[in-house]
A and B are shown apart, each in its own frame.
Chain A
């Protein structure tokens, strides 16, 4: 028997529609954020999912394309290139290993921050470049950003040599009346917009005052904004990704 207090009628309704899949996109994103921080809710959701799971067993099978497993293996091994990436790695399972591909891009493991970076967060470490580019050490960083299913993954590639950031959604897009906007949040600073993430690679310049000494405290965040980005210059929508980058 559950020892948790019963959910309110509103929450029970949300659980029902989340599990069935009928919440609108915005509602779904907001609800998933709650699941991260409300164990009672999460438990209830998992319980209902399990109860309905036998339904999935009665459907027809469809054999996947022959090369599919190889792609999965490749993604796990970190040999995929940005253009082929459709999936992400990361999380707090302790299986972190950054495998730097010598060529261009490596899959990097996200590590959830011990400090706790908010509802939907995959925390990475960011190395930022200031006016003086470091001569030694990693020159480029890649992260595949996952928000635990609330949004399609993003691939973020930071190149110190040119001071550019490439951001690309890995799967299909955001709701047609919304945009994802990328923010750089330096320590003790207000978020600075780095532009709207479209369905193509976005070359961004790191802010000129991005400072390597503030590595541990700087954060990239992505919020869900009205189409075209925030109208106010500050984040107005919910944070759907938040994290930092690990060097290759």
Chain B
């Protein structure tokens, strides 16, 4: 099943007109990818599927709000999924032990990423600019992004005070954004 290799913009525009067939198609194209995104953050399968349902209802409800000027439809869709997963994970007072996936593995995957997806979501400047970051800071950013780790969990994993983690994240993203402005 193709995932985000296809520009979802036209399909989303149909969904915005309450086209149920388009909505089903969107689901078929994206649900496995989105569940993957959510599961890496939520980890519990049942809760993750609850979130996935919620995400698709939001997509159904809000498709008309997507504006192409704001960015790619593919980005819009994954952002909803990720945000809802983070909403839920921040509510859990006890996290399960985070997986040991190294932030650097994610970067390697991104670096070898498929070109078509890269074009659709402008991944090339992201790849380049992430590459400019110090490895540890990059790994920290990517752990936050992929696993939805809290500051405290990042602090434990990187053996730094929470305030240091905050500074790492602020500076790394500020530098990333500046880099992408000039390399976009």
Tell me which of A54, A59, A69, A153 contacts B121 (CB under 8 A): A54
CB distance from A217 to the nearest CB of B (A): 27
| A13 engages B52 (CB within 8 Å) | no
Tell me which of A48, A87, A95, A175 contacts B91 (CB under 8 A): A175
| A25 engages B117 (CB within 8 Å) | no
List residues of chain A with CB within 8 A of the CB of B36.
Answer: 59-62
Tell me which of A25, A54, A175 contacts B126 (CB under 8 A): A54
List residues of chain A with CB within 8 A of the CB of B76.
Answer: 50
The answer to whether the Cβ of A156 comes within 8 Å of any Cβ in the partner chain is no
| A52 engages B126 (CB within 8 Å) | yes
> Interface extent on A, as a size class?
35 or more
Most chain B Cβ neighbours within 10 Å, of A57, A72, A171:
A57
For chain B, residues 1 to 59, give those with C-beta under 8 angstroms from any C-beta of chain A.
1, 3-4, 18, 20, 24, 27, 31-33, 35-37, 39-41, 47, 49-54, 56-58
| A20 engages B173 (CB within 8 Å) | yes
Give bound CA distance, A61 to B61, whole Å. Answer: 24
Main SS of the interface on chain B?
Answer: helix
| B145 engages A54 (CB within 8 Å) | no
| B27 engages A69 (CB within 8 Å) | yes
| B173 engages A16 (CB within 8 Å) | yes
Most chain A Cβ neighbours within 10 Å, of B78, B113, B146, B149:
B78
How many positions in chain B have a CB within 8 Å of any CB in the partner chain? Answer: 82
A174 and chain B: residue at smallest CB distance: B91
Give bound CA distance, A53 to B113, whole Å. Answer: 13
| A171 engages B54 (CB within 8 Å) | yes
The answer to whether the Cβ of A21 comes within 8 Å of any Cβ in the partner chain is yes
Tell me which of B33, B52, B150 contacts A57 (CB under 8 A): B33
Question: Can you list, as one digit per residue, whether each of B92-114 has a CB less than 8 Å from chain A (1) or not (0)?
Answer: 11000000000000100110010
| B177 engages A56 (CB within 8 Å) | no
CB distance from B175 to the nearest CB of A (A): 11
The answer to whether the Cβ of B86 comes within 8 Å of any Cβ in the partner chain is yes
Tell me which of A20, A24, A53, A68 contacts B71 (CB under 8 A): A53
For chain A, residues 37 to 58, give those with C-beta under 8 angstroms from any C-beta of chain B.
46-58
For chain A, residues 1 to 40, give those with C-beta under 8 angstroms from any C-beta of chain B.
12-13, 16-17, 19-25, 28
User: A55-B142, A58-B113 are contacts. A64–B52 as well, Cβ < 8 Å?
Assistant: yes
| A172 engages B53 (CB within 8 Å) | no
List residues of chain B with CB within 8 A of the CB of A93.
Answer: 61-65
27 A–B contact pairs at CB < 8 A? Answer: A16-B174, A17-B166, A17-B169, A20-B141, A20-B144, A20-B173, A21-B86, A21-B90, A22-B150, A22-B169, A46-B70, A49-B75, A51-B180, A54-B118, A57-B78, A57-B113, A62-B39, A63-B32, A68-B52, A69-B56, A71-B53, A72-B56, A72-B60, A149-B84, A149-B87, A153-B54, A172-B47
Footprint of B on A, CB under 8 Å?
A: 12-13, 16-17, 19-25, 28, 46-65, 68-69, 71-73, 75-76, 86-91, 93-95, 149-150, 152-153, 171-177
- Contacts A89-B61, A172-B92 given; 10 further ones with Cβ under 8 A? A16-B169, A17-B169, A49-B79, A51-B177, A53-B72, A55-B126, A55-B145, A56-B78, A72-B53, A72-B56
